[in-house]
Every structure is written in structure tokens, then in C-alpha cells.
Structure 1
């Protein structure tokens, strides 16, 4: 006789069945470790083990900024035809799909070629290397959310529009925040359009262009700086099996030892307000910073007039 089915195996069987029945479709989010713990009354290690088993079966996959989702069935690999290279748009779209799923760290020209079903050297007919590939990916990502064709509204509403569109790009493609730079910005026209949009808005409000450029960079840096955490956070949850709440819970003992020294009385007072006193969600942090920055720029615009 076989032993009783382990709790993690029951969870795996239930999710596997839901996928097979079409109740969970490719791209649908599956329960997180925290949700599995609550729904099935299991420990975190058991929930993590279940998701790990599903990933090994190829049924689910991590998606940065979203969580664990049902994996798409592998496509049949086309026959490699060296003399018939894939169009550039397909190369870029495939690279974006790979980076969205697994991050930039695992994106290579060799892996991209394998995903396209082509020899690596065929891909090099379209892009000179990874640097050019990242430029094209960034341009395509920002091109998904174009700025309005008519610049209506005052300077504040226009800057807010740009910031929210940028945040949306990073939400969909967390890797893009890593590619962007202020010291060596990528010459991607669709990204540069945001700089032009903001400069024009502040210029029309009477702000000198050098000051307008600093303001534009400050705002873009807030959006990008917050978005940098998206991919890191998704990777950390995948590696540890802990979401943010679970991670903080696991740190309680260490936090207690540190604050017992008396060096952090204000920090301790904040912690004693409870876990819901501060919202650490990245969307909340983005909104808070955006509002404060625009409030500050309101004074700047008034002083420059």
C-alpha cells in the first residue's frame, strides 16, 4: 500500500487538475505561498514546495511584478533556416518576452536564438549585440504607451501623465528600469519623447530649460528608482518563497534584538503601531513620491515666472 499523499502533493494535484481542465489558463495567476497557506492550512515550507514542484513540471512560471502564473505551452521549434532570418520585430518581441519572464540576467544572444529556433549568428544579422538589443527593446517597450498626440492641460497634468505612463512601462517590463540611465541614457526615441514632453511643458510655464531639465530628470529618477525594486522584489520572492509580509514576519526576532539596544526608539515606536501602519506597496510609494514632487515643482514654477 502507498502512504498517504503529502499535503504539498495534494496542492500540486489540485492546481494541475485546474490547469488541465482549463479553469486556469496560460498567463493566469496561481495562488501565492501566502494564499496557499491560508486556503489549505499548511506551513510556508509546504506551500513553497508545492509551487516549486509545479515549476519543475513546467506548469507554472514566475512573472516579475505579477507573481507565479500558468506557463504557456512550449511552441514547436521551427526549423532553423540560416538564409531566412527572423524579422527584426520578431527578434525584439521575443527578447522582451524572455526578459519579462526571467529578467535581464538570463537574457543572452544564445538563448534568444534558441527561442527563435535560429542559429545564434542569424540573430546577429539584425542586432550587433546585446547593447543594441536592449536599446531596441527599450524603444519598443516605451512605444507601447505613447504620449497623447495633443499636449492638453497645464504643466502639472502633463508631467503627471508622463510619469504614470513611465510607471506603466516599468510595471509591464520591470527590466526596463535597469536599462535606463541618466549618465548614459539610451538613445531610444520613444523614451526620449518623455523628456521632450516634460521640457516643453515646463518651458511653456516659463521655467528656464536648464532648470526644466533638472526637474525632468528628478521626476524620471523617482519613477525609475521606485521601479528598480519591481524585478528585485519578484526575484526575491521566487528565490525565498516569501512575500513581503512573510519576510518581515521572519525578521521579527532579529528586529527585536536590534531595537532592544535602545538605539532606535523612534523606529520601535513606529513598529509598535502594527504591520498595517505603513503601506510598503510599490504603487503606494510611487504615488506618494509623485504627489510630493509635483507639489514642490509647483513652487519652483511659481518662483521662475
Structure 2
């Protein structure tokens, strides 16, 4: 009988009431554990993820997971590596530094959008040793070599750009959770819930003259996508100025 079919057939409840599946523990691997954890986090958010929950999804005893994954921190690191590996960096690298950095930033944005939980697991003060994620920093610094920047400036540029993308991407999971809790999209929430407060804020031109001016002008786009595009472009403009001052703008 195929393994997948064996795993799908439940057996009698063992002591303690836990439900297990035939062949589940025998076929358990770290890859299956991590894939299941990613699916849970993608569908329900990081708050729903636990070793117990992953074990339940796999139909095995929770303790059996620890033979393959030491704990939840390590599980998150494996998950991080897997989702970065899903969308590898393009080869060959771009020869133009700006194109190269923009390509990396857009790839990170797509990864965060596909896996909204990921951004909240990232740390730029206590980085997790995830090799496939570290390749992004490696590539970012590589495209800046020979532009007149110091090693410190190349590292700071790479990390600052990644931190900008991640910081904005944190809102993917927050918005997903808010939509799940309220049943309203961001636009629907603004129309149904925010109009009264918004109008009250805009109706005080003495205290908020800039908001008042905005309210009288054309509609503006403050979506996450618009903020990403604007912020990335301005950061790269700034890097370009530094490179130009160093005399490394060409190439």
C-alpha cells in the first residue's frame, strides 16, 4: 500500500487521546516537518505555529519531531532557508549596481508577500544563520564592489536596503490578520470604519494643515506596493549619490 495512503488512514486512539496515523513516524523527515510548518504559517499565521500543531498535522507524537528538529527556533531557521531557496537569485548577476540591488529587493518583496509570516522572524541585530537568506546580503555586496565604497559602506547599504524591505513587509501579516479578524479588506475598512475619524482629522486645518491640503487635492496612493516602490527608489538614489562622490558611478 502506498505510503501516502497509509498515512491518511487513522488508527485507534492511543493512551492520552492523541490521534496518530499509520506510517507517520516511520516516514518522518526534517523536510516534511519544515514543509508542514511553512504551510501552517502561510495559511494561519505564525501565531498558529507550534511543534504540537506541526505534529498534529503530520499525525505523529510531538516528541518525535525533536529527533529531526531541536526546537521551534531551529524550525523557524529551517523554514526561513526553505522559503528563500524557493526563489533563487537570478544568474548571472546584473553588471549594473542599481539593477542588481533593485532585483534583490524585488525578490525579497515577492518572498515576503508569498510568506507573510516571514518578515516578523527576521532580525538585523541578531541575524539567524540561514545560508540561503545570507546569499542575498552576499550578492548585494558583490554588485557594489569596485564602486568606490568601503567594506563598511557596502555592508551597510546591503543590510539597510534589506531592512527597509523587511520592515515594510511586516505589514503583510498584520493586514492578513486584521482582514481575518474584521472580515474587511484595508479599502473596505477605510470606507466603513475610518471615514468618520478621517474626516474629523482632516477638518482641523489649524492643527493639521498638511492633512487639510492633502484632503483637498487628488487621491494619493499609500498602499504597501506604492510605499515599497517609492522607498526603494529613494534609497537607491541615495546610494547613487555616494557612489558618484566616490568616483565609481561608471560600470
Please classify the TM superposition score into its range, dividing by the shorter chain length. Answer: 0.7 to 0.9
User: Match of 2:214?
Assistant: 270
User: Match of 2:109?
Assistant: 167
Write out per-residue CA displacement over residues 93-129 of structure 1, whole angstroms, 9 at most, x where no aligned residue: 1100000001101100000000011110111111111
Write out per-residue CA displacement over residues 266-294 of structure 1, whole angstroms, 9 at most, x where no aligned residue: 102212335xx111321222111111111
User: Match of 1:194?
Assistant: 136
Separation in 1, partners of 2:9, 2:207: 60
Q: TM-score, normalised by structure 2?
A: 0.86
User: Match of 2:165?
Assistant: 223
**1:146 correspondence with 2:78:** no
Separation in 2, partners of 1:175, 1:107: 10
Residue in structure 1 matching 2:203, options 254, 257, 260: 260
Q: Are the structure 2 counterparts of residues 83 and 219 from structure 1 closer, same or farther at C-alpha, using a change threshold of 3 Å?
A: closer
Cα RMSD for the two superposed structures = 1.8
Q: TM-score, normalised by structure 1?
A: 0.71
Q: Are the structure 2 counterparts of residues 271 and 259 from structure 1 closer, same or farther at C-alpha, using a change threshold of 3 Å?
A: closer
Higher mean alpha-carbon deviation, 115-124 vs 201-210, is at 201-210
User: Match of 2:229?
Assistant: 287
Q: Are the structure 2 counterparts of residues 144 and 216 from structure 1 closer, same or farther at C-alpha, using a change threshold of 3 Å?
A: same
Unaligned runs of 5+ in 1: 1-74
Large movers: runs of 4+ above 6 Å: none
Q: In the TM superposition, what are the counterparts of 1:39-50 in structure 2 within 5 Å?
A: none
**1:213 correspondence with 2:164:** no
Q: Please report how far the alpha carbon of residue 207 of structure 1 lies from its aligned counterpart in structure 2 after TM superposition.
A: 1.2
Separation in 2, partners of 1:247, 1:152: 41
Q: Are the structure 2 counterparts of residues 77 and 300 from structure 1 closer, same or farther at C-alpha, using a change threshold of 3 Å?
A: farther
Equivalent residues, number: 229
Q: Please report how far the alpha carbon of residue 212 of structure 1 lies from its aligned counterpart in structure 2 after TM superposition.
A: 0.8
Separation in 2, partners of 1:285, 1:80: 50
Q: Please report how far the alpha carbon of residue 85 of structure 1 lies from its aligned counterpart in structure 2 after TM superposition.
A: 4.8
